[in-house]
Structure formats: C-alpha cells, structure tokens
Amino acid sequence: MNTVNLNLVARRCMGWFGCLGLTAVLWGCAGSNTPKPTELAPNAALVSVNAAWTARLGDVAFPLDVKVVGSQVFVADSNGTVAAIDNATGADIWRTELGVKIAAGVGSDGRYAAVVSADNQLITLDAGKEIWRHKLGAATLTSPLVAGARVFTLSADRTLSAFDAATGRKLWQQPRTGDALVLAQSGVLMAVGNTLVTGLSGRLVGVSPVNGAVVWEVPVAVSRGTNDVERLVDLVAGVSRIDNDICVRAFQAAVGCVDAGKGRLLWVKNASGATGLHGNGTQVVGAESDGKLISWRRTDGERLWVSQSLKYRQLGTPVLLGNTLVVADGFGYVHFLKPEDGTALNRMATDGSAIKVAPVLAGQNVLVVTQRGAVFAFRRE
C-alpha cells in the first residue's frame, strides 16, 4: 500500500474526528521512503507561453474546484474567501469573506456560487452576497454542483442532496449504503443532459435531478482485498466528457469510459492513479501515482503512449487543451507537453508551492492555483 492510498483514506464508521486521526497515523506509518523526483531537463521552450495575470488568495488546503462561467473565474481559499475574478484582467468582480473554513467548492452557474465549510455548512451566494446556509449531515469534500437553479451536494457518506438555489429549501435527499472507508478527496458530481451523474464507490451512477432516483448504474471497479484499506474503491474528481461519453478513474484500481446516455460500460483498464483524467475525441490522459503519464485510446482503452519524464513529481490531473497537454506538479511547475507523446514543449514556474488544482481552460488562458493561494493565468501564444 503506497503513501497516496494511506494519506487519502478516512474511516467513516469512526466519525470524522476519528478520520483525521487515522489519516495522521497512516502518514506516520508511511515513513520517508518517497522516491526522489525526476530531475527536470533544461526547459525546451519550443512554444511561447506567457503569464497573462496573477491574483492572490489565502492558502488552499482543500480540493478546490475552479469554476469558469463565461468571463468569470470562481475560486476560494481555506480561510473562507470566495471570489469571482475577471478572466481578462485578473481583477476581482467580487470577493466575499464567509468567516468560516472551507472544505469544498466552488460550484457555480455564473450567478449562484456554493461552497461547503469545514463544519459541514452548505453556503450559497448570489452575485457575491451570501443568501443562505444549510447544515449537512456529514463531511463534504466534493464541490457542490449548481445547475438548473438548484444546488446538489455529495457528502462523504455518499448522501446526495438537492436544494433550491434561491431559498435553500431542501428538495430531496437520498442516503446511500456506503463502505467502511472513503477517500478524503473530491468525487464525481456533474450534469449530463437531464441526468445527475455521480460516483458511488466504484460505480458511475445516473440519478434523476427531480427526486434522486437511480436511472442507471455502471461498475467501473469492484472492491477486492483482505481488509478495508485494500477494498477501498471510489471514483475521483476530474473526468473527461465528450457528449455522453464519460471517462473516469477509480482510485488506484482502473480507468474506464461509460456511455452516460445508455448507462453502458464502454471499456475499462487496470490503472494505479489517484487523480483524474482529461481527454479529447481521440485520447484520454491520466497520471499514475508514480508520475507516469499514460494516454489511452478513447474508443477502446488501448494504450497510445507512456511518458516517464515527470516521474515522482506528484502530478495532478492533466488537461488536454487543443494542441497542448498541460499538467502541474507538486513543486510549483506547470508543464506544457506534446499530446502526441508527452514530450516537453515548455515549462512555467509559479510560487514554488504545490499545485493541487488541475489546470483549467478559461478562454485563451490556462489557470492554475497553488497551495499558497496564488492564481496564475498562462497563455500560449
């Protein structure tokens, strides 16, 4: 069991204070035998990449989801700041201090923005003004989904809930039977047409947004092993969607693609990563836990290429942006690569702290947020 597995599990049956203790203990058991990161080659600088703007937040110690709607970029920090930033200039459109620690967010439809606090409060803002709070029944690490004038949440105990975005009135709640262990990272929660799509254990599940009833259910990975840690299986945030074709990663188990229109598994392959996937109509790309980048053919999951040039550099979810593959590492670098084989095109430094948020495309800009709360917008010329 490697350190990624150990650090990211939490025991729900012990309660959430117990979860934090378990995580700390497992970190201690992991020791200091982390492999040395691959040394970076001299920067190739084969394409021109420039910094368009930077903005500043407080530290980000939760699985931040940067939401881009039109020209607005929605971000938040751990200390309770939620902001909408103008993608053209990096200036604040609005910035609100909530006065509580944040554990998940941001979800937004361009008007409403929603986050979840560390004490399990779902907090919703309208154009930057807080309008309501609702206490959730369990810790929530997955960013709320704001769609159709509703706010949807997926809690760590796998309870799905829906609220009216304007009033906070609870519309429905569907508790699920969960596993003894869950991941302390963001899961899958998205809208595909008229279906709410979420990850429950190793299954991708289509749910009615009207009442939470299950429409279809597709297993991507199944539990196996002799103890709770080895049997842990969950779908992680960061999916590749082309129309109804949804490709996802099951934590340290598999990658696969599902037809969300028919609720049908297209293919699945063994894989051992802990971060999400991205892709286009041709390929799906992900980083394994040891830092290998792997590209799978989208139609059938066959491997197209493997790159080890960034091995052990704590890679996040890669993003395919046109003719460039972008991936950030745990040492503050953003790597621009050839999507055909993963070879280097350019590299940009940030503030030296880990980049935990997958690069996000915002118009012509590529956005990253560092652990120290710096927001960088890069532009390939």
The CATH number of whichever domain residue 95 belongs to comes to 2.40.128.630
Strand (E) or helix (H) holding 4 = helix 3-7
Residue that finishes a domain, picked among 130, 164, 184? 184
pLDDT over 80 (residue 16): no
Domain final position from 149, 167, 184: 184
Q: What is the mean pLDDT of residues 6-34?
A: 39
| Angle subtended at Cα 327 by Cα 324 and Cα 332, rounded to the nearest 5 degrees | 130
16 and 75 assigned to the same domain: no
**What does pTM read for this prediction?**
0.90
Same domain, 77 and 157: yes
Is residue 272 domain-resident?
no
pLDDT band at 228 (very low <50, low <70, confident <90, very high): confident
The reply to whether 22 and 70 lie within a common domain is no
Report the pLDDT value the prediction gives residue 19, as an integer from 0 to 100: 39
Name the band, by pLDDT with cuts 50, 70 and 90, for residue 105: very high
Q: What is the dihedral of CA 81, 87, 93, 95, to 10 degrees?
A: 0
Whether 103 and 25 share a structural domain: no
Q: Where are the alpha helices (DSSP H) in 206-341?
A: 228-231
Residue range 70-85, pLDDT digits in tens:
999 999 999 999 999 9
- Domain with 77, as residue range(s), is 65-184
Residue 31 pLDDT level (bands cut at 50, 70, 90): very low
1 lies in some domain: yes
Residue 15 inside a domain? The answer is yes
Mean confidence (pLDDT) of the chain = 90
Torsions phi, psi for 3 (to 5 deg) = -70, -25
Tell me how many domains the chain contains: 2
Instruction: Give the per-residue pLDDT at 20.
Output: 34
User: Both 4 and 85 in a single domain?
Assistant: no
Instruction: Give the model confidence (pLDDT) of 131-169 as tens digits.
Output: 999 999 999 999 999 999 999 999 998 899 999 999 999
Which pairs count as long-range contacts for 79-85, CB under 8 Å and 24+ apart, including other chains?
80/117, 81/57, 82/106, 82/113, 82/115, 82/125, 82/128, 83/55, 83/57, 84/108, 84/113, 84/128, 85/55, 85/375
- Note the pLDDT of residue 356: 76
Q: What percent of the chain has pLDDT over 70?
A: 90
Tell me the per-residue pLDDT of 353-375, one tens digit each, with 9 for 90 and over: 999 788 999 999 999 999 999 99
Give the pLDDT confidence of 208-226 residue by residue, as tens digits.
999 999 999 999 998 777 7
169, part of any domain: yes
Single-letter amino acid, residue 190: M
Q: In the structure, what pLDDT confidence band is assigned to residue 177 with cuts at 50, 70 and 90?
A: low
Asked if residue 124 is part of any domain, the answer here is yes
Starting at the earlier edge strand, list the strands of the sheet with 102-108. 102-108, 112-117, 121-126, 129-135
Q: Which of 184, 217, 235 is the last residue of a domain?
A: 184
Query: What is the pLDDT, as a whole number, of residue 142?
Result: 96
Specify the pLDDT at position 222.
86
Say whether pLDDT at 6 is over 50.
no
CA distances from 235 to 137, 250, 251 (A): 21, 4, 6
Residue 348, helix vs strand vs coil: strand
Model confidence band, residue 179 (pLDDT cutoffs 50, 70, 90): low
Dihedral sign from CA coordinates of 347, 351, 354, 358: negative
Closest CA relative to residue 323, chosen from 309, 302, 312, 337: 337
Q: Do 102 and 23 belong together in one domain?
A: no
Same structural domain, 5 and 96: no
Same domain assignment for residues 71 and 177: yes
Looking at residues 314-322, what average pLDDT do you find?
93
Name, in order, each residue with C-beta under 8 angstroms of 32's C-beta and a sequence gap of 6 or more. Answer: none
Residue 180's pLDDT is 65
- Residue 292 is assigned to a structural domain of this protein: no
Q: Is residue 288 part of a domain?
A: no
Calpha distance 227→58 (Å, rounded): 39
Q: Does one domain contain both 75 and 156?
A: yes
Count how many residues are written for the chain.
381
Residues 179 and 78 in one domain: yes
Read off the amino acid at residue 160: L
